[in-house]
Amino acid sequence: MRRACVAALLVAACLTGARDPYQARREAMVRDQIMARGIRNPDVLRVMREIPRHEFVPPALREQAYEDHPLPIGYGQTISQPYIVALMTAKLDVNKSHRVLEIGTGSGYQAAILAQLVKHVYTIEIVPQLAEQAKKRLAKYPNVTVRHGDGYEGWPEQAPFDRIIVTAAPPEIPQALIDQLKPGGKLLAPVGPSPWSQELVLIEKRPNGKLRRKSILPVVFVPMVRGKKE
C-alpha cells in the first residue's frame, strides 16, 4: 500500500514536472529575489509564479530565464530583471477593471504579467521585429493588444487609461502620456537623460487633474527612442 502511494506520488511529480520543468525555478525566483526584497502583494507573487518567463527569452538563454538580472532579447533591447517587473507591477496598483497602456513591449513578458491582473493591456513597441514576435507570443493572452509604433505619442484611439507603464527611459515624461491618463490614474516610468542617471517615477493624477510625483528608486533601463516622422 505504502509503496503504491510512493509510486503514485512519483508519477504525479513526474507528470507535473513534464508539464513545466521550470516551475521550481519560478518558485525560487519569487522566494529569493522578490519576496526577499520585500514584495508581499499576493496577486503579484502569484502571477510571477505562474507566467512562464522562459517563453519570453531567446531559446539559447532559456536556462538563464529565472536568474536575477535582465537578459538580451535582440535589437539591443532587454527583458527586465524579474524583481523590477514585480516591483513595477506592485507599484502600478492595478485591478481587474483597469485598462492599461504599456510603452515598450519588448519580449511581451511585462504585458503577460499585467494581463492576469487587469481588464486589458494595450502595448506599443517601436522595433517592428520585436512587435511582430510579441504579437505571436501574446496571441494566447486574449486581453493584450500589441501595436508597432512610437510610444511618445501614446495610443490616442484607446485613451484614456487607468494606468500607464513605461518600460524604456525617456529624458522626461512625455506630455501625451500624461494627457492620456485618467483623473485618479497612475503612471510609472523610468526617467533620466542617460542609463547612469535614471529613477523610477510614479505620477498620480488627482481627480482634479493635479499631478503628484514620487521617486521610487534608481534604475537602469534602455532609452526610450524617438520614432522617425514620416
Q: C-alpha grid cell for residue 166?
A: 513605461
Residue nearer to ligand SAH on the CB measure, 125 or 162: 125
Asked if residue 181 lies in contact with residue 164, where contact means CB atoms within 8 angstroms, the answer is: yes
Among 43, 152, 158, 160, the residue binding ligand SAH under the rule CB under 6 A is: 152
Residue nearer to ligand SAH on the CB measure, 144 or 203: 144
Asked if residue 187 lies in contact with residue 162, where contact means CB atoms within 8 angstroms, the answer is: no
| Region near ligand SAH per CB under 6 A, out of 20-28, 60-68, 145-153, 202-210 | 145-153
For residues 158 to 197, the per-residue mask of contacts with ligand SAH, x marking binding by CB under 6 A and - elsewhere, is ---------xx-----------------------------
Q: How far apart are CA 104 and CA 130, in angstroms?
A: 10
Burial bucket for residue 53 (CB in 10 Å: 0-12, 13-18, 19+): buried
Residue nearer to ligand SAH on the CB measure, 150 or 162: 150
Site for ligand SAH contains 151 (CB under 6 A): yes
Output the DSSP codes for 188-207.
EEEE-SSTTSEEEEEEEE-T
Q: C-alpha grid cell for residue 50?
A: 505562474
Q: How far apart are CA 43 and CA 87, in angstroms?
A: 12
Site for ligand SAH contains 130 (CB under 6 A): yes
As a whole number of angstroms, the longest Cα–Cα distance in the chain is 73
Alpha-helix runs per DSSP H in the chain? 2-19, 23-29, 42-50, 82-92, 109-115, 128-137, 175-179
Site for ligand SAH contains 51 (CB under 6 A): no
Residue nearer to ligand SAH on the CB measure, 178 or 225: 225
| Region near ligand SAH per CB under 6 A, out of 71-79, 154-162, 187-195, 200-208 | 71-79
Between the alpha carbon of residue 175 and those of residues 153, 171, 178, the distances in Å are: 9, 12, 5
User: How many amino acids of this chain bind ligand SAH (CB under 6 A)?
Assistant: 24
| Region near ligand SAH per CB under 6 A, out of 6-14, 20-28, 205-213, 222-230 | 222-230
For residues 88 to 107, the per-residue mask of contacts with ligand SAH, x marking binding by CB under 6 A and - elsewhere, is ---------------xx-xx
80 is catalytic: yes
Q: How far apart are CA 148 and CA 126, in angstroms?
A: 6
Residues near ligand SAH, by CB under 6 A: 77-80, 103-104, 106-107, 109-110, 124-127, 130, 150-152, 167-168, 222, 224-225, 227
Residues that are catalytic: 80
